[in-house]
Structure 1
Amino acid sequence: MARPSDADLRWHRTTLEGQVAVYGEAGDGPPLVFLHGWGLSARSYARALPGIAAAGWRVLAPALPGFGRSAALDGEYTFEKLANWVDDLLDHVGVEEPAALVGHSFGGGVATAVAWYHPHRARSLTLVNAIGGSVWKAGDRVDRLLAERPLWDWGLRLPGEFRRRDYRSVLPVVVRDLVGNALTNPSAVWRAGELARNADLREELATLAARGLPTTILWGSADRVVPEATFLAMCEAAGAPGDIVSDAGHSWLLADPDGFGELLTNSLTVRRTVSERTRA
């Protein structure tokens, strides 16, 4: 996918209610808001987002509070607080029309919350290996929830992904951002992690589906961080079939930024065309 220089992300530092907020911006066209995963920042996705901007979108990629030099939130982290923060930022940068909301991992939960608490912000919702399905292991009678998953199991799964040859180039980016965020805002990283581990957004997804919000759910077949049971629970709640990316781990969009950009823009273009024809 072509990446002209004018589609490269430009980084901005501003303030929201006196607190620092950092975001990347590129391109021109309908707004697309990309929300990053836990422990990372918008800069982690700097290779993937310019291609999306070059396809005709105004990409806005904020560093969520407590990550990537954006000031942390006070008190407990909640999806409502994070959704309000994103809403304030979009007001600040002059976004008036509904945006395509795209979230990876933890950012998928935040994107869902933005669409739920601020419906006027959402043109569509795309969740990539996202949290929110809550189910860890599906059972015949009772499902086990992600909140029951031991922390050591989370810790063992993510490093294994980077043993793959095609993921090794991603490891320095992940380590840089994770270590930097942990050193700068350790409390925020922990609070956001607890929110992610306990996230159950199935009711919100069901309501968004009832509102008619176009929703796409992507999941990598080799993801061991967000299990298949979570993905299936989200698809069921949203009434969406879901799309499985073959042989892709939790951070596949970092390892294959061009493939991710092409898949996302093709999906959004189809949705936009269908929407325009429906209105006509």
Structure 2
Amino acid sequence: MPTVTTPEGLDISYKDWGAGQPIVFSHGWPLSSDDWEPQLFFFLAQGFRVIAADRRGHGRTTQTPDGHDLDHYADDLAAVVDHLDLHDAIFVGHSTGGGEVTRYRARHGLDRAAKAALISAIPPLMVKTETNPGGLPKSLFDDQQAQLAANRSVFYRELAAGPFYGFNRPDRRPNQAIIDNWWRQGMTGDAKAHYDGIVAFSQTDLTDDLKCITVPTLVMHGDDDQIVPIDDSAMLSAKLLPNATLKIYPGFPHGMPTTEAATINADVDHAIPTEQTERAPRGRGHATHHHVRVSRLVP
């Protein structure tokens, strides 16, 4: 894989396939650009240029003990975007990657961005606070750090086999290949980066970042997301973004870009040229906020 060297001296590994309008994909914790393969091949076939980088301490990028926070994640993404001199780009982020995209656009501006999609994304804030009473208790994330430190391999196996893809639901049959691939990606990265990353994705308040993002943004979330519950994430983000379209997927899990790739790919592809325009066959849209259109999509 090619790399770009950041001002700190980190080598950020990235995939860069094809030509045409660029789509930049930011992966979730604790994965890598490999997690986007169903999207990379799909959008490459549609004539787009597809770019996906491994976050610092993840995948093939330099392992470093420092800088595992949303500011550094955004700056590293900017290093890739600037190095490739991308313009009119569509930014797509899953989970922590959605936070990375949000912080990037707030921190580095919108000059290179045309549109965005936030999929099962962490904004605005995951942890419960006085101003975010619907968030998850900090003790939950403390426990995740404790499990990672005690036995990362076991923790990752159980997370992938359970709530991440919804395989703990009685109506969902576990897919061992998907579980193994998640575990492989996680174990390729750096334990310290992933440990610190739990604080980054859970305790970074992106409320103000969302408010200043004016490009059309598609917010996509499954209502059975057990990792980033929809009520305190997508439902709030869609109200904070000045130009949002919210799509809710009944029964879809956190890892829906993998388990429901065909649906997610088609809806992102549909949103790219039409921005907030809904097509009738894709669901019944109705306005719930002056700038938000909502569709509940039946699988």
Normalized per residue, the structure richer in helix is 1
Please tell me whether the aligned partners of residues 114 and 121 of structure 1 are also in contact (alpha carbons under 8 angstroms).
no
Unpaired stretches in structure 2, ≥5 consecutive residues:
146-154, 279-299
Distance 1:56 1:272, change over 3 A: farther
**TM-score normalised per structure 1:** 0.81
State the partner residue of 2:224: 222
- Partner secondary structure for residue 115 of structure 2: strand
Matches of 1:22 and 1:241, distance apart in 2: 31
State which of 91, 105, 108 in structure 1 corresponds to 2:95: 105
**Cα RMSD between the aligned structures?**
2.8
State the partner residue of 1:170: 178
> 1:149, CA displacement in angstroms?
4.9
State the partner residue of 1:63: 54
How many positions carry a matched residue from both structures?
Answer: 256
Matches of 2:64 and 2:31, distance apart in 1: 16
Please tell me whether the aligned partners of residues 78 and 108 of structure 2 are also in contact (alpha carbons under 8 angstroms).
yes
Percent of aligned positions that are identical: 23
Distance 1:83 1:135, change over 3 A: closer
**TM-score normalised per structure 2:** 0.76
State which of 161, 186, 205 in structure 2 corresponds to 1:200: 205
- Partner secondary structure for residue 48 of structure 1: helix
Distance 1:262 1:138, change over 3 A: farther
Please tell me whether the aligned partners of residues 80 and 113 of structure 1 are also in contact (alpha carbons under 8 angstroms).
yes
- Partner secondary structure for residue 77 of structure 1: coil
Aligned-partner residue type, residue 250 of structure 1: H
State which of 91, 115, 138 in structure 2 corresponds to 1:148: 138
> 1:153, CA displacement in angstroms?
7.6
Please tell me whether the aligned partners of residues 128 and 138 of structure 2 are also in contact (alpha carbons under 8 angstroms).
no
Please tell me whether the aligned partners of residues 222 and 249 of structure 2 are also in contact (alpha carbons under 8 angstroms).
yes
Distance 1:273 1:30, change over 3 A: farther
> 1:237, CA displacement in angstroms?
1.4
- Partner secondary structure for residue 165 of structure 1: coil
Q: Which moved more, 1:245-254 or 1:153-162?
A: 153-162
Matches of 1:232 and 1:135, distance apart in 2: 13
Matches of 1:147 and 1:203, distance apart in 2: 22
Please tell me whether the aligned partners of residues 26 and 50 of structure 1 are also in contact (alpha carbons under 8 angstroms).
no
Please tell me whether the aligned partners of residues 125 and 132 of structure 2 are also in contact (alpha carbons under 8 angstroms).
no
Matches of 2:132 and 2:23, distance apart in 1: 38
Aligned-partner residue type, residue 218 of structure 1: M
